[in-house]
Structure 1
């Protein structure tokens, strides 16, 4: 199988903890042809989308140690047609590069892309949880999004809670997430002015504060609509954010009955939207965010549970590609039968 990872630069990888590196290592261990590229390396020539790729050189047996694999990996630089790959795995960091998705539009029928292009377009923002309806809606906390300072002040005034969560719509990795308390309301307008900006260019999210948020959140990795692993992220004593990048610490976690019900309710829509690999952030049974670009946590969940989630993910990709190839083979066989009939 030929697989391309559309990702961040290789030299920015943290070999000890990087989730994408685990997927790349698993693909190499299966003797796949592995190519790496970044959104800045996409191009079009004669109406054909290409990527300037670093193709992993195949040599001796792949080291079982992922850090050693990373240290010793060597590449060959090539310009390759995107339609020639069996699968493209989207692992670029936020924010979403919509131009990169435009490059992939013309090859979506030739290559399995994970996650789906349209799914990334609709889900790579903090508004996506608001699209869940029916049984799934009860797991979504009340959320308000606006550029209007007056409206957001009104929402805060009318809230029954003594505090709310405020964050920028375009933030990621816990950046800009703060707790606003009624007792400090005199600072609220000034904060809104800062977050929204003088040109009224930025949307702000106000969200009900969920009890237990100070104890951290739960990151659940979903594969094809089903949970395959989870961990609890506990914030440091100096921060409200539980993101690992913000100083949080991971601990082992087993999904509660309510968390399992949340995953079951949300899973079908994730699959319908082509979001086969997603990270759910949950606090006290409520969905806070859905991460779809490069959801992390694989390495840490592996260590906590002595498992290798990358094997399940790569199994899924191989199965999808095999199923697509089978459809093409059947179609070609049927076409040949019809062509042969014409010569009788």
Structure 2
């Protein structure tokens, strides 16, 4: 199988914790041809969408030490047609490069893309959680999204809670997440001006922000659940650093083992079918107090830490899934060709 990873720069990979490196390593172990590229290397040549790729040179022995594997890997640069790959795994960091996604429109019928490009368009920002129907707010917190200051101010003061969460719509990694308390109401307008930006006259230059119900238990951290083809495959609890509301490890949080609760499993069961319908085959969801806070679809992380906490290898499950999809597509093509040949033979008499 031939796999292309569209990802962040190779030099930014941390071999001790990087999830994408685990997926690449697993694919190489299985003898697959693996290439990596980035969105800025995408090209069109003679109406064929391709990319300047770094193809990993196959070796007789693959080190099981990820740091050694990363430091000794060899690449061969080549401009390659993307439709020649059996699978493309999108592992770029947010925010979504919409122009790069448009390049992939021309190869989607030939190549399995994970996650699907339409799914990425739908779910690449925090608005996606609002698309899940949960009228009782059992799984989805009350959320307001706007760039209208008056509206957001009204929602804040009308809230029954003494505090709410404010964050940018397009942020990631815990950046810009703050807790607002009613006692600090005199600062609220100033915070909106900072987050929304612009000048109140040119709304196109202003930023959308999220004002969200403060979920009880947020101070104790969140749960990252990795979901593959609609089913949970692993989880961990992330605990924020002292004095910080953000649980993200990059923001100073720590991780501990987490066993999925009955409510966690029900949440996954509620959202799983829609994720699959939308082409979101591999995602990391963030849950606080049993409620879905975010759906991470571009380069969901957590494989390495969940593996260490549970002595498992989640990358095996992910590559298993990619292989099964590709094999199913190849089987369908063979059957189609056999049927076409049968019709041709009948026509020849």
Same fold (TM over 0.5): yes
Match of 2:285 among 280, 284, 291: 280
2:325 matches 1:333: no
Map 1:26-37; keep pairs closer than 5 Å: 26-37=26-37
CA distance in 2, matches of 1:271, 1:85: 22
Which residue pairs with 2:266 in the alignment?
261
CA distance in 2, matches of 1:159, 1:230: 32
Which residue pairs with 2:300 in the alignment?
295
Which residue pairs with 1:87 in the alignment?
87
CA distance in 1, matches of 2:153, 2:186: 11
Contact residue 8 and residue 93 of structure 2 kept, 8 A: yes
In the TM superposition, what is the alpha-carbon distance from 1:304 to its structure 2 partner?
A: 0.3
CA distance in 2, matches of 1:14, 1:342: 60
Aligned to 1:108, the other structure's residue is in SS state coil
Aligned to 2:126, the other structure's residue is in SS state coil
Number of aligned residues: 344
CA distance in 2, matches of 1:135, 1:226: 23
Which residue pairs with 1:72 in the alignment?
72
In the TM superposition, what is the alpha-carbon distance from 1:198 to its structure 2 partner?
A: 2.4
CA distance in 1, matches of 2:174, 2:104: 29
In the TM superposition, what is the alpha-carbon distance from 1:65 to its structure 2 partner?
A: 1.0
Contact residue 135 and residue 265 of structure 1 kept, 8 A: no
4+ residue runs over 2 A deviation = 134-138
Gaps of 5+ in 1: none
Which residue pairs with 1:121 in the alignment?
121
Contact residue 114 and residue 277 of structure 1 kept, 8 A: yes
In the TM superposition, what is the alpha-carbon distance from 1:138 to its structure 2 partner?
A: 2.9
Which residue pairs with 1:4 in the alignment?
4
Range with greater deviation from structure 2 (125-134 or 266-275)? 125-134
Which residue pairs with 1:175 in the alignment?
175
CA distance in 2, matches of 1:72, 1:44: 31
CA distance in 2, matches of 1:146, 1:343: 66
| CA RMSD in angstroms, aligned pairs only | 1.0
Aligned to 1:127, the other structure's residue is in SS state helix
In the TM superposition, what is the alpha-carbon distance from 1:61 to its structure 2 partner?
A: 1.1
User: Structure 1 length normalisation: TM-score?
Assistant: 0.99
User: Structure 2 length normalisation: TM-score?
Assistant: 0.97
CA distance in 2, matches of 1:135, 1:110: 39
CA distance in 1, matches of 2:330, 2:274: 25
Contact residue 166 and residue 212 of structure 2 kept, 8 A: yes
CA distance in 1, matches of 2:257, 2:69: 27
CA distance in 1, matches of 2:153, 2:98: 32
Which residue pairs with 1:232 in the alignment?
237
- The C-alpha deviation readout for 1:106-162, integer Å capped at 9, x for no partner, is 110100000000000001110101111158963100000111111111011101111
